[in-house]
Amino acid sequence: MILNSPRGTSDIFGSDIEYRNFIINNAKRLFSIFNYKELITPTFEHTQVFSRSIGDGTDIVQKEMYTFSDKKGRSLTLRPEGTASIVRAIIENKMYSGYLPVKVFYTGSMFRYERPQKGRMREFYQIGAEAVGTDNPIIDSEIIWLLETFFKNLGFKKLKLFINSMGCSRCRKEFVGKFKLFLEPKVDKLCTDCQKRYDLNPLRIFDCKKDNCINLISDSPKIYSSLCSDCKSHFKKVLYFLDALKIKYTVDSNLVRGFDYYTKTIFEFVSKDLQSAQNALGGGGRYDNLIQQFGGPDIPAIGFAVGVDRILMLMKQLNLEAGKEKDESKIYVIVLDGSCEEYSFDILKYLREKNYVCDLNYNIRALNSELKWAEKNGYDFAAIIGENEVKAGEVTIKDIKKRKQYKIKWDREKEKLDNLIRRAGDQANQAI
Ligand code: AMP
Domains observed in the chain: 15-168+228-317 (3.30.930.10), 171-223 (no CATH), 330-431 (3.40.50.800)
In order along its 432 residues, the chain shows pLDDT tens digits of 899 999 999 999 999 999 999 999 999 999 999 999 999 999 999 999 999 888 877 788 888 999 999 999 999 999 999 999 999 999 999 999 999 999 999 999 999 999 999 889 999 999 999 999 999 999 999 999 999 999 999 999 989 999 999 999 888 888 999 999 999 999 999 999 899 889 888 888 988 888 999 999 988 998 888 899 999 999 999 999 999 999 999 999 888 877 778 899 999 999 988 766 668 899 999 999 999 999 999 999 999 999 999 999 999 999 998 876 556 788 999 999 999 999 999 999 999 888 888 999 999 999 999 999 999 988 999 999 999 999 999 999 999 989 999 999 998 888 888 887 775 444 434 444
Give the span between the Cα atoms of 280 and 261, in whole angstroms: 19
Which pLDDT belongs to residue 120?
93
State the distance from the centre of ligand 1 to the C-alpha of 304, rounded, in angstroms: 11
305 lines ligand 1 (CB under 6 A): yes
State the distance from the centre of ligand 1 to the C-alpha of 363, rounded, in angstroms: 42
Give the span between the Cα atoms of 262 and 256, in whole angstroms: 9
* pTM for the full predicted model: 0.87
Q: What are the strands of the beta sheet with 37-38, ordered from one edge? A: 37-38, 102-111, 123-132, 301-307, 280-286, 263-270, 160-165, 250-251
Whether residue 139 contacts residue 101, with contact meaning beta carbons closer than 8 Å, is answered with yes
Helix, coil or strand: residue 152:
helix
Which pLDDT belongs to residue 326?
57
Whether residue 277 contacts residue 209, with contact meaning beta carbons closer than 8 Å, is answered with yes
State the distance from the centre of ligand 1 to the C-alpha of 254, rounded, in angstroms: 19
Look up residue 120 and give its DSSP letter. Answer: B
Give the span between the Cα atoms of 62 and 339, in whole angstroms: 65
Q: Which of 83, 120, 269 best tests ligand 1's pocket when mutated (most atoms within 8 Å of CB)? A: 120
E strand segments, 291-351: 301-307, 330-335
Nearest to 340 by CA among 395, 390, 392: 390
Whether residue 94 contacts residue 301, with contact meaning beta carbons closer than 8 Å, is answered with no
Nearest to 420 by CA among 381, 389, 377: 381
Whether residue 381 contacts residue 331, with contact meaning beta carbons closer than 8 Å, is answered with yes
Whether residue 410 contacts residue 393, with contact meaning beta carbons closer than 8 Å, is answered with yes
State the distance from the centre of ligand 1 to the C-alpha of 307, rounded, in angstroms: 5
Phi/psi for 268 (5° steps) reads -150, 140
Cα-Cα-Cα-Cα dihedral of 289, 293, 294, 298, to 10°?
50
Look up residue 306 and give its DSSP letter. Answer: E
311 lines ligand 1 (CB under 6 A): no
State the distance from the centre of ligand 1 to the C-alpha of 344, rounded, in angstroms: 48
Give the span between the Cα atoms of 16 and 23, in whole angstroms: 10
Give the span between the Cα atoms of 432 and 429, in whole angstroms: 5
Give residue 410's identity as a one-letter amino acid code.
Answer: W
Nearest to 202 by CA among 63, 65, 64, 57: 57
Phi/psi for 369 (5° steps) reads -65, -40
Closest Cα to atom 21 of ligand 1: 120
Q: Do the bridges between strand 381-385 and strand 330-335 make them parallel or antiparallel, or are there none, so unpaired?
A: parallel
Complete DSSP assignment for 41-58: --SEEEHHHHHHHH-TTS
307 lines ligand 1 (CB under 6 A): yes
Which pLDDT belongs to residue 59?
80
Whether residue 370 contacts residue 382, with contact meaning beta carbons closer than 8 Å, is answered with yes
Closest Cα to atom 10 of ligand 1: 282
Find the length of the chain: 432
Q: Which of 12, 23, 309, 312 best tests ligand 1's pocket when mutated (most atoms within 8 Å of CB)? A: 309
State the distance from the centre of ligand 1 to the C-alpha of 153, rounded, in angstroms: 20
State the distance from the centre of ligand 1 to the C-alpha of 76, rounded, in angstroms: 21
- Which atom of ligand 1 is found nearest the CA of 305? 6
114 lines ligand 1 (CB under 6 A): yes
- Which atom of ligand 1 is found nearest the CA of 119? 21
Which pLDDT belongs to residue 13?
96
Task: Give the rounded distance of the alpha carbon of 419 from its chain centre.
Answer: 37
- Which atom of ligand 1 is found nearest the CA of 122? 19
